[in-house]
């Protein structure tokens, strides 16, 4: 299992154990992390699972692909470390990953 | 101003469940009219993820969302449903004879014996961009769509976004606006390459301005904009003249005016019984993602089941006293006749 940490907009921290191959969005929903809506259910089609990747992790997590970058146009308060959590797959190298939930999802 | 459109069943929402409702209602000879805020049928399947595969439609190991919509349209074709697109239902009123009068945001009037709400996650409405104080300008100098081009004539226009809507209106309004500034958070666009090339060519000719960045602030008074501040570009904060703004940040789903129809609600969903999928108001049904009952799953296949049961109850309202005969499409010649099957 891979450890993920979500920091909700009010500062509440959620530490969860995630299975490799699942997405950061799915684990947020499973663990009821507030502020991740995932309206489209993980199809990279709605930009409501937007997170900010902790600066220490941006290199390891990597850049969004073109389709995700397009969808990020619709997200609220996009920053250079913005990602859609449905497009981040959990793997060993992400053990300890920290993501922050934005103020709102559009 | 418009004639009242009369139908047996008015279906709010033309997503997969609204479409399949036409089939089940049609088998019982009920005529359907569908209203949708989008410009085409399919709802979320068409708007959010047309190319995405769906794996849990019975009998279809894999079908794309648009593929499913196309198949549903083919399936309901024999029942010749009527569609009204680009409209949001606004008010609902119960008439003395027990039927319902529904009006749209553009003033069309419908009368139906039964109303079926198949509105999914709600109606698609434009997303408000994260610009402080933008609410004060909405409807006066900030617009989320172009209904009348004249509204923009002679104005300093700022268009925000990187999709086809943003690029198309940049090109179409440039000839009549006083100035046009296109703002997008990156130099890449989702729009048709031809439009993007035209935009860059016009920028070369100084016919419009394109700025990379995000709108961070607005200035103006009494709802009337005067300028906008763009941040995040290579030149730092830039202030541009702006008396009209068109932000295009995609769509989000909201329950909208249905919330005011006097139906019981449960966290923005409409509770129904699981025998008829009827709401707290007899004659108004809710099916698909918009409804709620114990054990509810937001699955297309669950919505299909719901409309089959709903159709039985709707028939009792549309044709009171008539005996309802349960039949299979496989063997019933009368159902096959309705479906246009020839042997």
Are B49 and A40 an interchain contact pair (Cβ–Cβ within 8 Å)?
yes
Residue B329 in this model has a pLDDT that exceeds 70:
yes
Domain that holds residue B136: 128-249
Q: What is the pTM of this model?
A: 0.78
Q: What integer pLDDT is reported at residue A67 of this predicted model? A: 87
Sign of CA dihedral B306, B312, B318, B320: negative
Looking at the domain assignment, is residue B343 inside a domain?
A: no
Q: Of B215, B231, B249, which marks where a domain is finished? A: B249
Overall domain count for chain B: 2
Number of H helices, E strands in chain B: 7, 20
Distance to chain B for A65, nearest Cα, Å: 13
Structure-block tokens of residue B306: 């719901």
B137 pLDDT exceeds 70? yes
Give Cα separations from B138 to B26, B132, B195 (angstroms): 42, 12, 27
Helices (H), chain B: 16-27, 43-47, 65-76, 164-173, 193-204, 300-318, 333-338
The residue of chain B nearest to residue A78, with distances taken between CA atoms, is B185
CATH of residue B271: 3.50.50.60
pLDDT value of residue A40: 80
CATH numbers and ranges of domains, chain A = 2-100 (3.10.20.30)
Of B44, B52, B190, the CB nearest to A73: B190
Q: What percent of chain B has pLDDT over 70?
A: 99
B228 and B279 both lie in a single domain: no
Are residue B99 and residue B148 in the same domain, yes or no? no
Tens digit of pLDDT for each residue in A13-68? Answer: 999 999 999 999 999 999 999 999 888 888 888 889 999 999 999 999 999 998 89
**CA B246 → CA A59, B45, B161, B264, distances in Å?**
35, 26, 9, 36
Q: Do B52 and B117 fall within a single domain? A: yes
**Are B15 and B75 part of one and the same domain?**
yes
Same domain, B262 and B207: no
Half-sphere exposure of A84 (CA within 13 A, CB side): 27
Name the DSSP letter for residue B307: H
Q: In whole angstroms, what is the distance from residue B280 CA to residue B303 CA?
A: 19
ipTM: 0.75
pLDDT value of position A43: 80
Q: Which of B48, B214, B249 sits opposite A46 (nearest CB)?
A: B48
Q: Which of B234, B249, B264 is the last residue of a domain?
A: B249
Give the span between the Cα atoms of A68 and B139, in whole angstroms. Answer: 31
Quick one: B227 and B277 in the same domain?
no
| B269 and B191 inside one domain | no
Question: B106 and B166 share a domain?
Answer: no
**Residue B70: its pLDDT value, please?**
98
Domain boundary (B233, B249, B265) is at B249
Contacts of B162 (CB under 8 A, 6+ apart): A70, A73, B184, B185, B186, B188, B189, B190, B191
Cβ–Cβ of B162/A74 closer than 8 Å?
no
Whole-number pLDDT of residue A32: 93
Mean pLDDT of A75-97: 95
> Same structural domain for residues B156 and B199?
yes
Q: Give bridge partners of residue B33 from the DSSP assignment.
A: B10, B82
Digit-coded pLDDT (tens) for B269-289: 999 999 999 999 999 999 999
- Rg of chain B taking only CA atoms, in angstroms: 24
Q: Which of A38, A39, A44, A46 to mutate to test the interface with B (most CBs of B within 10 A)?
A: A46
Per-residue pLDDT band for A77 (boundaries 50, 70, 90) equals: confident
B172 within a domain of the structure (yes/no):
yes
Verify that B146 and B221 share a domain, yes or no.
Answer: yes
Q: What residues of B are in the A interface, CB distance below 8 Å?
A: 44, 48-49, 52, 121, 127, 130, 161-163, 184-186, 188, 190, 214, 249-250, 252-253
Task: Count Cβ–Cβ pairs < 8 Å, chain A vs chain B.
Answer: 41
Q: Which residues of A touch B250 (CB under 8 A)?
A: 47, 73-74, 106
Average pLDDT, chain B: 94
Q: Is the pLDDT of residue B232 over 80?
A: yes
B188/B239 same-domain check: yes
Whether residue B88 is found in the same domain as residue B136: no
Task: Verify whether the Cβ–Cβ distance B49 to A45 is below 8 Å.
Answer: yes
């Amino acid at each position: 299992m891979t450890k993920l940490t979500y920091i909700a907009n009010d500062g509440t921290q959620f530490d969860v154990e995630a299975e490799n191959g699942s997405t950061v969005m799915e684990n947020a929903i499973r663990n009821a992390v507030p502020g991740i809506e995932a309206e489209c259910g993980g199809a990279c089609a709605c930009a409501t699972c937007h997170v900010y990747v902790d600066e220490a992790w941006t290199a390891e997590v990597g850049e969004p692909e073109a389709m995700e970058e397009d969808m990020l146009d619709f997200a609220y308060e996009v920053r250079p470390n913005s990602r859609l959590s449905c497009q981040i797959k959990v793997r060993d190298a992400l053990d300890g990953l920290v993501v922050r939930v934005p103020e709102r999802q559009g | 101003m418009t004639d009242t459109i009369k139908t047996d069943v008015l279906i709010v929402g033309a997503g997969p469940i609204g479409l399949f409702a036409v089939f089940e209602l049609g088998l019982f000879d009920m005529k359907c009219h569908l209203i949708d805020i989008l410009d085409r049928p399919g709802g979320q399947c068409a708007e959010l993820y047309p190319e995405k595969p769906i794996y849990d439609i019975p009998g279809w190991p894999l079908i794309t969302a648009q593929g499913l919509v196309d198949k549903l349209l083919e399936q309901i074709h024999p029942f010749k449903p009527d569609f009204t697109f680009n409209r949001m239902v606004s008010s609902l009123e119960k008439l003395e004879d027990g039927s319902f009068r529904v009006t749209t945001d553009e003033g069309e009037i419908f009368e139906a014996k039964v109303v079926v709400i198949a509105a999914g996650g709600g109606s698609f409405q434009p997303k408000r961009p994260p610009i402080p104080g933008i609410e004060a300008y909405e409807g006066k100098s900030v617009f989320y769509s172009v209904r009348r081009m004249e509204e923009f004539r002679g104005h300093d226009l700022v268009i925000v976004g990187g999709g086809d809507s943003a690029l198309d209106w940049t090109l179409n309004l440039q000839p009549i606006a006083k100035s046009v500034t296109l703002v997008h958070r990156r130099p890449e666009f989702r729009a048709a390459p031809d439009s993007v090339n035209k935009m860059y060519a016009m920028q070369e000719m100084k016919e419009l301005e394109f700025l990379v960045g995000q709108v961070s602030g607005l200035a103006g008074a009494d709802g009337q904009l005067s300028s906008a501040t763009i941040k995040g570009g290579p030149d730092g904060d830039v202030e541009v003249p702006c008396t009209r703004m068109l932000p295009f940040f995609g769509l989000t789903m909201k329950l909208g005016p249905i919330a005011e129809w006097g139906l019981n609600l449960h966290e923005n969903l409409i509770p129904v019984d699981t025998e008829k999928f009827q709401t707290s108001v007899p004659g108004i049904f809710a099916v698909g993602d918009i409804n709620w009952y114990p054990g509810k799953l937001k699955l297309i296949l669950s919505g299909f089941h719901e409309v089959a049961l709903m159709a039985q109850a709707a028939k009792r309202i549309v044709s009171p006293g008539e005996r309802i005969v349960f039949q299979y499409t496989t063997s019933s010649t009368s159902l096959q006749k309705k479906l246009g099957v020839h042997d």
